[in-house]
C-alpha cells in the first residue's frame, strides 16, 4: 500500500477516535455490583460493558449512515446520537426501578450539592451506602460519555472504511480498537465512577496518555493490515 | 418511509423487548447478574444456599457469544444450504442454547465445588431442573436478536452494511449491558435482600446476607425468575426495545440519504427529552420520599 499524506490523516483520525473513547468512558456513571443493590451511585454494570454497549450501538448507526453517504459529518453525528440514545434509555429505565421498585431517591455521595440542579445530596444517601440511583449530574455526564464514545467509534470506523471499503472488516477492527481503549480507561477508573463531578475523574490524563500510545500502535496495524489486503 | 419498513421497525422493537426480558430472566435464574458477588460471598459468611451460580463472565460478552453463535449458524444455513430464514434462525438459536447449557453446568459445578470448604453443596436437582430453564431463556434471546439482525441486513431498506453475525454480536453486547444495568437492580435491590427498610439501598453490613427462604421451602433460582419476570425482566425488555426502536425509527421515517439532518435531529430530541424526564423523576421522588430519618449531618435537605 502507499503510505501517503491521506493515510497519515486516517491514522490521526483513528487516534483521535480512540482518545475520545478513552476519555468518554470516564464520563459514564458506573457503579458495578454495588449499584445493582442500590449501594452505590450509578448504573449497575461494569465500565467496559456499558461503554461498549453504547459505543457499539453508535457504530451500528454510523455504519448504516456510511452505507448511504461518504460525508463524514452525518456519519459522526449519527454514531454519537445512536450511542446517546442507548445510554440514556438504559439510565432512564434503570432510574424507574430505583425510584419505583427499590423506592430510593437518587443521591451522590461524592458531592454535597448536585452541580447542575443544586439539590443537596447527603440527607438522601441511605445509611451504610455511598448513594444510589442516577442523579441529574450523573445522567448528563453519562449522555456526554455516550456522545464521546459514539463519536470515537464512528471516527475509528470512517477512515478504515475509506481505506478498504469493506464494512465487516472495518467494523471488527473498530470494535477491537474501541474495546482496547474502553478497557484501558476502566483500569484507570478501578471499578466505579459517578461522572465528571467524581474526584476520580481527575485521573483522566493518565488514561489519555495510555490510550494515545495504544491507539497509535493499533492505528498503524489496522491501517496496514486492512489496507494491504 | 413506507408501510413495510415501519412494520419491520415495529417488529424489531417487539423482538428486542422480548429479547431483553428473556435475557434478564436468564441471568437471574442462573445468577449471572451483578449481585452474583453476593451469591458467591453468602457461603463464605456462613450462608450456604440453593441458588444457581454461573457468573464466570459478564452478561454482555456471554450474550454476545450466544447471539453470534446463533447468527453464524443461521447465516451459514441460509446462504450455503438455502434453508428458510425462520427455520435457520431457530436451528441457530438451538445451537446457541446448547453452548449456553455447557457454559451453565460447567460454571455451576466449578463455582460451587470451589466453595466446598464453606459447606456449600452441589445440588444435582438444581442442575437438573434449573439448567433447561436457563437454556430456554437463552434460546429466546438468541432467536430474537438473530431475527433483528436478519431484518436489518436482508429486509429493511437501506440494508445494513454489516454482516448478520457482527450485528448480532453488537446487539448481544448491548442487550447484556442493558440487562446488567436495568434488570439487576430489581434482582439485587428487591429480591436478594428483602429485610432492608423500603427506600434504602443495601447497607454494607448486610453483604452476603442473602435471603434463603422462599414462599414455600428453601429459595432456589426458579423463585428468583418468578419474581423478576414481574418487573425486572419487562423493564429490561422495555429499555432494549426503546434502544432498537428509537435508533431504527429515526433512520426509517427520515430517509438517511436526503434527510440525514432530520434523522440526527430527531435522535437529539429523544436524548434531550430523556434527560429532562430523569430530572422530573428525581425531583418527584425526592419530594415524595424525603430525606432519611436518621440523617445527622449539617447540610439541609
- Mean pLDDT across chain A: 90
Whether residue A179 is predicted with pLDDT greater than 60 in this model: the reply is yes
Test A88 with B270 for CB contact under 8 angstroms: yes
Whether residue A190 is predicted with pLDDT greater than 70 in this model: the reply is yes
| Mean pLDDT within A68-91 | 93
pLDDT at B264: 93
CA A62 from centre of chain: 15
Chain A segment 87-106 residues within 8 A of B by beta carbon are: 88-99, 101-106
Whether residue A203 is predicted with pLDDT greater than 60 in this model: the reply is yes
Whether residue A18 is predicted with pLDDT greater than 90 in this model: the reply is yes
pLDDT at B236: 95
pLDDT in tens, B217-243: 898 889 989 999 999 999 999 999 999
Chain B segment 48-87 residues within 8 A of A by beta carbon are: 58-60
CA A97 from centre of chain: 23
| Mean pLDDT within B39-51 | 90
Q: Report residue A2's pLDDT band, with 50, 70 and 90 as the boundaries.
A: low
pLDDT in tens, A108-121: 988 999 999 999 99
Residue B148 CA: distances (Å) to CA of A79, A211, A217, B166, B261: 19, 34, 35, 12, 25
Tell me which H or E stretch contains B133: helix B124-150
pLDDT at B245: 94
Specify which of A90-94, A163-167, B292-296 reaches the highest per-range mean pLDDT: A90-94
**A150 chain-B contacts, CB cut-off 8 A:** none
Structural domain boundaries of chain B? 3-253, 254-290
Whether residue B265 is predicted with pLDDT greater than 90 in this model: the reply is yes
**B299 chain-A contacts, CB cut-off 8 A:** 112-113, 120-123
pLDDT at B208: 85
Q: Is B76 exposed, middle or buried (0-12, 13-18, 19+ CB in 10 A)?
A: middle
| CA–CA gap between residue B229 and residue A80 (Å, rounded) | 33
- Residue B120 is given by DSSP the state P
Q: What is the DSSP string of B161-185?
A: SS-HHHHHHHHHHHHHHHIIIIIHH
Whether residue B174 is predicted with pLDDT greater than 50 in this model: the reply is yes
Higher pLDDT, residue B255 or A28 = A28
pLDDT at B55: 82
Whether residue B34 is predicted with pLDDT greater than 50 in this model: the reply is yes
- The residues, ordered by sequence, that sit 6+ positions from A199 with a Cβ below 8 Å of its Cβ are A110
| CA–CA gap between residue B63 and residue B5 (Å, rounded) | 27
pLDDT at B154: 92
C-alpha cell at B66: 450466544
> Scanning every residue of chain B, which has its alpha carbon at the shortest distance from the alpha carbon of A131?
B201
pLDDT at A1: 60
Test B282 with A136 for CB contact under 8 angstroms: yes
pLDDT at B182: 92
pLDDT at B281: 95
Higher pLDDT, residue B269 or B299 = B269
Higher pLDDT, residue A73 or B256 = A73
pLDDT at A229: 46
Test B37 with A175 for CB contact under 8 angstroms: no
The interface predicted TM-score (ipTM) is 0.94
Amino acid at each position: 500500500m502507499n503510505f501517503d499524506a491521506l493515510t497519515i490523516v486516517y491514522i490521526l483520525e483513528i487516534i483521535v477516535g480512540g482518545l475520545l473513547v478513552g476519555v468518554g468512558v470516564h464520563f459514564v456513571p458506573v457503579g458495578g455490583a454495588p449499584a445493582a443493590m442500590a449501594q452505590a451511585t450509578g448504573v449497575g454494570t461494569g465500565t467496559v460493558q456499558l461503554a461498549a454497549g453504547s459505543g457499539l450501538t453508535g457504530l451500528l448507526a454510523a455504519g448504516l449512515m456510511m452505507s448511504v453517504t461518504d460525508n463524514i459529518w452525518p456519519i459522526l453525528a449519527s454514531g454519537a446520537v445512536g450511542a446517546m440514545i442507548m445510554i440514556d434509555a438504559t439510565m432512564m429505565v434503570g432510574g424507574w426501578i430505583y425510584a419505583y421498585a427499590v423506592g430510593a431517591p437518587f443521591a451522590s455521595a461524592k458531592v454535597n450539592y448536585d452541580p447542575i440542579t443544586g439539590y443537596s445530596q447527603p440527607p438522601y444517601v441511605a445509611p451504610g451506602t455511598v448513594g444510589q440511583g442516577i442523579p441529574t449530574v450523573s445522567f448528563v455526564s453519562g449522555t456526554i460519555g455516550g456522545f464521546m464514545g459514539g463519536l470515537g467509534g464512528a471516527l475509528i470506523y470512517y477512515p478504515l472504511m475509506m481505506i478498504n471499503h469493506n464494512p465487516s472488516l472495518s467494523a471488527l477492527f473498530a470494535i477491537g480498537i474501541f474495546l482496547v481503549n474502553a478497557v484501558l480507561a476502566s483500569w484507570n477508573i478501578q471499578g466505579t465512577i459517578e461522572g465528571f463531578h467524581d474526584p476520580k475523574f481527575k485521573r483522566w490524563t493518565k488514561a489519555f496518555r495510555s490510550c494515545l500510545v495504544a491507539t497509535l500502535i493499533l492505528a498503524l496495524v489496522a491501517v496496514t493490515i486492512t489496507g494491504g489486503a | 418511509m413506507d408501510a413495510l419498513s415501519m412494520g419491520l421497525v415495529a417488529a424489531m422493537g417487539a423482538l428486542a423487548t422480548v429479547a431483553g426480558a428473556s435475557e434478564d430472566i436468564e441471568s437471574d435464574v442462573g445468577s449471572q447478574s451483578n449481585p452474583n458477588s453476593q451469591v458467591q460471598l453468602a457461603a463464605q459468611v456462613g450462608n450456604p444456599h440453593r441458588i444457581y451460580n454461573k457468573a464466570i463472565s459478564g452478561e454482555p460478552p456471554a450474550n454476545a457469544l450466544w447471539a453470534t453463535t446463533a447468527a453464524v449458524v443461521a447465516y451459514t444455513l441460509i446462504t450455503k444450504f438455502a434453508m428458510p430464514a425462520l427455520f435457520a434462525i431457530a436451528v441457530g438459536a438451538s445451537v446457541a442454547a446448547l453452548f449456553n447449557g455447557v457454559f451453565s453446568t460447567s460454571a455451576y459445578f466449578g463455582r460451587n465445588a470451589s466453595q466446598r470448604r464453606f459447606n456449600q453443596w452441589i445440588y444435582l436437582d438444581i442442575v437438573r431442573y434449573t439448567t433447561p430453564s436457563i437454556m430456554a431463556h437463552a434460546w429466546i434471546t438468541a432467536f430474537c436478536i438473530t431475527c433483528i439482525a436478519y431484518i436489518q441486513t436482508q429486509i429493511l431498506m437501506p440494508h445494513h452494511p454489516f454482516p448478520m453475525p457482527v450485528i448480532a454480536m453488537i446487539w448481544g453486547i448491548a442487550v447484556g449491558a442493558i440487562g446488567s444495568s436495568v434488570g439487576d437492580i430489581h434482582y439485587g435491590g428487591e429480591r436478594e435482600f428483602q429485610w432492608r427498610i423500603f427506600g434504602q439501598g443495601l447497607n454494607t453490613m448486610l453483604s452476603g446476607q442473602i435471603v434463603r427462604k422462599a414462599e414455600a421451602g428453601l429459595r432456589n433460582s426458579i423463585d428468583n425468575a418468578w419474581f423478576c419476570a414481574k418487573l425486572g425482566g419487562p423493564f429490561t425488555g422495555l429499555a432494549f426495545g426503546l434502544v432498537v426502536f428509537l435508533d431504527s425509527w429515526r433512520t426509517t421515517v427520515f430517509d438517511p440519504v436526503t434527510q440525514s439532518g432530520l434523522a440526527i435531529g430527531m435522535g437529539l430530541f429523544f436524548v434531550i427529552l430523556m434527560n429532562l424526564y430523569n430530572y422530573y423523576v428525581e425531583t418527584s421522588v425526592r419530594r415524595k420520599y424525603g430525606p432519611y430519618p436518621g440523617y445527622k449531618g449539617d447540610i439541609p435537605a
